[in-house]
């Protein structure tokens, strides 16, 4: 096994190590996070969200951009989701979605906001999935599956609307790592994360369709930022070549030109209005 592949396999576990902390108060912690951000950050970084199904290669993309000093990488805080004062919310979600979806999505929304608003000295932030992803992909998927009831959805929708209207949750570019459900599910099984052991292919298929509806079909309206869609069914080496092709755009050093991706298999670009 090459050193690159070994590094990729270690990325998720290394980047997910965070200090265990008590479950915060949702309202007070959101206000505190926003206040600190406004005081310390007069100029915000260029923010890129990596979007894609489970097993689409988001960690591989993060690993590629690790070499740039002006880029701060923000992996999903999986360690936090697996240990909320000893409670594994991610594990509980997969075991009983109808019982735990509301708690899980509430906490995910908070932790994503904390990471988005955390001050940085870097000019670029690359985040693994976004708050917008929760609203327009995962919540819509839960709605279709029936794992969240109407009242629960309305609470989470209201929280999102308030954050968007009052705090600002900006994105400058979305990179959609587009995979077919069977490829994503096979990768999920190979990596062997215990919380994901029982995830059925039907869940992957539903999540794939939710991504398509959000970023390709735009059923929720125009995406919040320009969308670069890449064929992520390809192997690691080919994906690294693709990231090299779009490095300047992803680092915000030059404008993204959608026409550039026309020679990428399954590649497609979507402009926000």
pLDDT in tens, 160-190: 999 999 998 999 999 999 999 999 999 988 8
**Has residue 19 been placed in a domain?**
no
pLDDT band at 255 (very low <50, low <70, confident <90, very high): confident
Residue scoring higher pLDDT (199 or 263): 199
Total domains in the fold of the chain: 1
**Has residue 190 been placed in a domain?**
yes
Which two three-digit tokens encode residue 209? Answer: 């369709």
**Has residue 8 been placed in a domain?**
yes
Residues designated catalytic: 128
pTM strictly above 0.85: no
What pLDDT digit, counting tens, does each position of 183-196 carry? 999 998 887 677 66
Domain extent, residue 149, equals 3-14+27-270
CATH code of the domain in which 247 resides: 3.40.50.300
Q: For residues 95-107, give the mean pLDDT.
A: 94
The answer on pLDDT for 270 being more than 80 is no
**Has residue 21 been placed in a domain?**
no
pLDDT band at 271 (very low <50, low <70, confident <90, very high): very low
> Residues 71, 76, 82, 86: is their CA dihedral positive or negative?
positive
**Has residue 20 been placed in a domain?**
no
Residue scoring higher pLDDT (22 or 66): 66
**Has residue 135 been placed in a domain?**
yes
Q: CA nearest 83: which of 31, 8, 16, 33?
A: 16
**Has residue 227 been placed in a domain?**
yes
**Has residue 107 been placed in a domain?**
yes
What pLDDT digit, counting tens, does each position of 201-248 carry? 898 999 999 999 999 999 999 999 999 999 999 999 999 999 999 999
The answer on pLDDT for 23 being more than 50 is no
């Amino acid at each position: 096994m090459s050193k690159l592949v070994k590094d990729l396999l270690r990325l998720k576990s290394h980047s997910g190590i965070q200090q265990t902390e008590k479950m915060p108060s949702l309202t007070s912690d959101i206000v505190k996070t926003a206040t600190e951000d406004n005081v310390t950050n007069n100029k915000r970084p260029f923010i890129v969200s990596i979007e894609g199904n489970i097993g689409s290669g988001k960690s591989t993309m993060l690993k590629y951009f690790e070499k740039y000093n002006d880029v701060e990488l923000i992996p999903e805080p999986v360690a936090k989701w697996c240990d909320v004062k000893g409670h594994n919310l991610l594990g509980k979600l997969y075991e009983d979605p109808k019982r735990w979806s509301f708690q899980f999505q509430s906490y995910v929304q908070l932790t994503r906001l904390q990471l988005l608003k955390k001050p940085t000295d870097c000019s670029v932030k690359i985040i693994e999935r976004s708050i917008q992803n929760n609203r327009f992909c995962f919540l819509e998927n839960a709605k279709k599956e029936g794992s969240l009831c109407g009242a629960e959805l309305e609470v989470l929708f209201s929280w999102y609307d308030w954050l968007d209207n009052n705090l600002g949750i900006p994105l400058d570019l979305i990179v959609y790592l587009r995979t077919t459900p069977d490829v994503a599910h096979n990768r999920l099984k190979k990596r062997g994360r215990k919380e994901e052991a029982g995830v059925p292919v039907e869940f992957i298929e539903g999540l794939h369709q939710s991504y398509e509806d959000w970023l390709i079909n735009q059923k929720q309206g125009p995406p919040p930022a320009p969308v670069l869609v890449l064929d992520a069914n390809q192997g690691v080496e080919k994906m690294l070549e693709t990231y090299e092709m779009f490095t300047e755009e992803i680092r915000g050093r030059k404008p993204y030109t959608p026409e550039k991706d026309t020679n990428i298999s399954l590649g497609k670009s979507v402009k926000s209005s």
